[in-house]
Amino acid sequence: MKNISSLFLIISAVLIFTAASCTAGDKSPEAGKTFDNPFAYCKAAGTVDSPGADYTGPKVPESIARGLKKAFGSPESTPLDMFMNGTYWRCMDGNVYACNVGANLPCESKADVSKEPTEGMNEYCKENANSDFIPMYVTGHSTVYDWKCDGTAAVAGKQLSEVDARGYQKNIWYEISRP
When mean pLDDT is compared across 6-15, 41-50, 52-61, 154-163, the lowest value belongs to 6-15
Dump pLDDT digits (tens) for 23-62. 334 455 666 799 999 999 999 999 999 999 999 999 999 9
Percent of the chain with pLDDT over 70: 83
Sign of CA dihedral 42, 97, 36, 76: positive
Cβ atoms of 52 and 27 closer than 8 Å: no
| Number of C-beta neighbours around residue 98 at 10 A | 23
Q: What is the pLDDT of residue 30?
A: 66
Dump pLDDT digits (tens) for 57-98. 999 999 999 999 999 999 999 999 999 999 999 999 999 999
Q: What is the pLDDT of residue 104?
A: 86
Question: Which of 57, 54, 90, 94 is CA-nearest to residue 169?
Answer: 90
Residue spans of beta strands (DSSP E) within 65-165: 87-92, 95-100, 145-150, 153-159
Does residue 149 have a pLDDT over 60?
yes
Question: Which of 161, 131, 130 is CA-nearest to residue 143?
Answer: 161
Q: What is the pLDDT of residue 29?
A: 61
Percent of the chain with pLDDT over 90: 80
Q: What is the mean pLDDT of the chain?
A: 86
Cβ atoms of 147 and 134 closer than 8 Å: yes
Does residue 119 have a pLDDT over 50?
yes
Per-residue confidence band for 130, with pLDDT thresholds at 50, 70 and 90 = very high
Q: What is the pLDDT of residue 24?
A: 39
Q: Which amino acid is at 105?
A: L
Q: What is the pLDDT of residue 173?
A: 97
Average pLDDT over every residue of 12-31: 42
Question: Which of 100, 29, 13 is CA-nearest to residue 39?
Answer: 29
